[in-house]
């Protein structure tokens, strides 16, 4: 590993070794360039399972089939990044350098997640998603009231289940990113170009 490459609290595999392990486990080689996967691939099983979840949900999921629902999925992930203070997750979904053709990346009003349900540009579905994320992060569950709203606004029970699953899984991923202190790759920018970040004056807690 290059001497000047940043490290997390658990050493990442070298680029070459990560690529070898990724291909051996059935992953796309380009995913091995991501620092989070280079760390996870210390356990090939963990890397493979996380990559399988990522690909099945983001490329083939119920929410990916319908553009309006795909947008809600990405807003949910970005809201998870904001309320948990996950610089790494935010950077990877705000300006991805890998999987650039992924459906639904970076909705035009994505910065509205910084205001959550109070953002005036959001409609009922977006506001319900914002509340769902807040509740999951704060209370470890989405309330029955918010779940009922999601059921009334999404197209199917499959979309409801998948949206809740996305919130829970990506929240869990932020705990791993924070635990290991995964460093950002070169070319990724922390937070938005205006520099605003969670905890700053005017930001939601």
Per residue in 178-187, pLDDT (tens digit) is 999 999 999 8
For residue 107 the two structure tokens come to 């909705």
pLDDT at 200: 57
Distance of CA 41 to the CA centre of its chain: 19
Q: How much of the chain, in percent, has pLDDT values that exceed 90?
A: 83
| Max Cα–Cα distance, the chain, nearest Å | 54
Distance of CA 21 to the CA centre of its chain: 23
Q: What is the mean pLDDT of residues 48-73?
A: 95
* Cβ-count burial 103-136 (b if 16+ within 10 Å, e if not): bbbbbeebbbbbbbbebeebeebbbbbbbbbbbb
Q: Is the pLDDT of residue 177 over 60?
A: yes
Distance of alpha carbon 30 from alpha carbon 81, whole angstroms: 23
Q: Cα dihedral sign for 176, 181, 184, 189?
A: positive
For residue 34 the two structure tokens come to 């991501």
Local confidence band at 199 (pLDDT 50, 70, 90 cut-offs): confident
pTM: predicted TM-score of the whole model, two decimal places = 0.93
Q: Is the pLDDT of residue 202 over 90?
A: no
Q: Are 189 and 91 in contact (CB under 8 A)?
A: yes
């Amino acid at each position: 590993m290059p001497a000047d490459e940043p490290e997390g609290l658990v050493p990442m595999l070298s680029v070459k070794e990560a690529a070898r392990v990724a291909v051996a486990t059935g992953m796309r080689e380009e995913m091995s360039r991501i620092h989070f996967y280079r760390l996870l691939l210390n356990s090939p099983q963990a890397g493979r399972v996380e990559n399988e979840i990522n690909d099945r949900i983001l490329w083939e999921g119920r929410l990916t089939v319908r553009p309006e629902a795909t947008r809600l999925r990405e807003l949910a992930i970005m809201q998870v990044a904001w309320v948990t203070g996950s610089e790494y997750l935010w950077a990877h979904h705000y300006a991805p350098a890998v999987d650039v053709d992924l459906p639904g990346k970076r909705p035009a009003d994505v910065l509205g997640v910084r205001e959550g349900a109070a953002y005036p540009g959001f409609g009922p579905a977006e506001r319900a998603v914002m509340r769902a994320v807040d509740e999951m992060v704060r209370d470890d569950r989405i309330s029955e009231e918010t779940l009922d709203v999601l059921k009334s606004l999404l197209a199917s029970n499959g979309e409801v289940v998948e949206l809740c699953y996305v919130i829970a899984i990506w929240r869990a991923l932020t705990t791993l990113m924070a635990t290991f202190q995964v460093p950002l790759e070169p070319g990724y920018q922390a937070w938005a170009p205006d520099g605003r970040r969670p905890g700053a004056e005017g930001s939601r807690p």
